[in-house]
Structure 1
Amino acid sequence: MDYQTITYDVTDGMAVITLNRPDVMNALTAQMRAEITHSVLEAGKSARVVVLTGAGRAFCSGQDLGDNGSAATMDLERGLRDEYTPMIRAITDCRVPVIAAVNGAAAGAGANLALAADVVIAAESAFFMQAFSKIGLIPDAGGTYVLPRLVGTARAMGASLFAEKIDARTAERWGMIWEAAADDAFEDTWKARARHLAEGPTQAYRRIKQALQASTANELDTQLTLEAKLQGKCGKTRDFQEGVVAFLDKRPATFEGR
């Protein structure tokens, strides 16, 4: 695909996908959603970590309300089903870890695009906002699923009803995101995190995602069975063998992702 609304770069196992419509705060169009979906799927085939970030002063301001005609003619259900759902599932189902490096405003579907990632690292000046009720809508792009699981029903309800900005430090304190970094250290922080994952045991990371995603729906016995199955698969990887040898040799492991 010839990307027009994002940039895509893979270096040393790290795929960086940058939303690149800074003049409109990286608002999401149908084309951008297709390009994000395609690039994440491509990165999952070859990279060992994926980073989503934004160009300019915003991560993503949500849906571009001028993309699909007037409010009276928008088919929101179709757009969510055919465009947003594949994008969110590409991220959640990605075979390698996905980091959202939130450089600025993440509002509406942009907030939930970020929260779909496995790890969210935000600049201290960034904020998250479930802006939907301001225009008479409900949170979408997975927001009603992921938000209460991250912060609890009370905070998810307040964030959705009042549509107030949640600054990065508050999001960190609530457990909505993994880390808020000082603005001047933000880029170095997410790059260091991404390098760590790119050099890590990729097969184990994939199965960590699988196990944790399944845990919310499983009973204990089912989860214990799944853990045993996935751990058995990890135990057959070259990275596990390397990890054990490195531990016994008292040296850092050199993982190949296999």
Structure 2
Amino acid sequence: MELTLNRPARLNAFNEDLHQRLAATLDEAEEESCRAVLLTGAGRGFCAGQDLGDRVNAAGPLDLGTTIERYYNPLVRRLRALPKPVICAVNGVAAGAGANIALACDIVLAARSARFIQAFARIGLIPDSGGTFTLPRLVGDARARALMLLAEPVEAELAAQWGMIWKTVADEGLMDEARRLTAHLATQPTQGLARIKAALNASATNDLDSQITLERDLQREAGRTPDYREGVAAFMEKRSPRFTGRPA
């Protein structure tokens, strides 16, 4: 399934309508027929974060925590927990919440002209959408602190060198590569991939004993899936596996 943030005139900045439409489309991605998700942006940028025009025109005092609790936090939780791989193709600037939503995906490809900006400090805010959790784990504490406090952009090539993203792709080849990768993952053992995600998500906060216990439990579940049986049969028969992604 391919999802495109489609407010190109606003660099795909989020407003309430875009949040609601993305949430509805992710509902469809939960269906068994969808086995991989590709997220990208329309036009010359991936996402500029929150549409500040909505803030300027809001009536009464603002409670930014309400917006985070209602929209951004559920989106980040959903991308991380979705039981299938989520690929993000960053086709231009990814700023503020847009950068952190990209980093919440499983595999991030970026056009060489793309940039990632923790822009929050420029307007007196803190990074949200999981940024203060995700970025230090990707690039280390020193780099994360500097990027957030200085709000300096990171070019895609440097982001890849630092381990912030998977890799960069020539601008003209970004979507072809992203679609190729998504199509490949859609043919793989979906139930096993879902458990890989679950294990990695838990590893951020588990100690070793808790993590290897979880590995045992997830491996037990994976070993009961049709795709595991098919994978073993294909290996023994020296043929390509035909995974279905079905839970049973």
**So what's the TM-score if we normalise by structure 1?**
0.91
Which amino acid letter does the alignment assign opposite residue 209 of structure 2?
D
Percent of aligned positions with the same letter in both sequences?
51
Q: 2: distance between equivalents of 1:214 and 1:143?
A: 17
Deviates more, 1:244-253 or 1:225-234: 244-253
Instruction: Name which of 20, 23, 43 aligns with 2:9.
Output: 23
Q: What's 1:64 paired with?
A: 51
Residue 140 (structure 1) aligned with residue 128 (structure 2): yes
CA RMSD between the two structures = 1.3
Which amino acid letter does the alignment assign opposite residue 62 of structure 1?
G
Matching of residues 91-110 of structure 1 within 5 Å: 91-110=79-98
Q: 2: distance between equivalents of 1:192 and 1:51?
A: 10
Unaligned runs of 5+ in 1: 1-14
Instruction: Name which of 139, 156, 161 aligns with 2:144.
Output: 156
Corresponding pairs, count: 244
Shift of 1:82: 1.2
Q: 1: distance between equivalents of 2:30 and 2:143?
A: 33
Shift of 1:70: 4.9
Please give the secondary structure, in 2, of the residue aligned with 1:45: coil
Cα deviation digits, residues 11-32 of structure 1 (max 9, x gap): xxxx111000101110110111
Matching of residues 210-225 of structure 1 within 5 Å: 210-225=198-213
Q: 1: distance between equivalents of 2:129 and 2:225?
A: 35
Shift of 1:249: 1.7
**So what's the TM-score if we normalise by structure 2?**
0.95
Residue 48 (structure 1) aligned with residue 16 (structure 2): no
Q: 2: distance between equivalents of 1:63 and 1:208?
A: 31
Q: What's 1:123 paired with?
A: 111
Which amino acid letter does the alignment assign opposite residue 50 of structure 1?
V
Q: What's 1:205 paired with?
A: 193
Please give the secondary structure, in 1, of the residue aligned with 2:52: coil
Which amino acid letter does the alignment assign opposite residue 39 of structure 1?
T
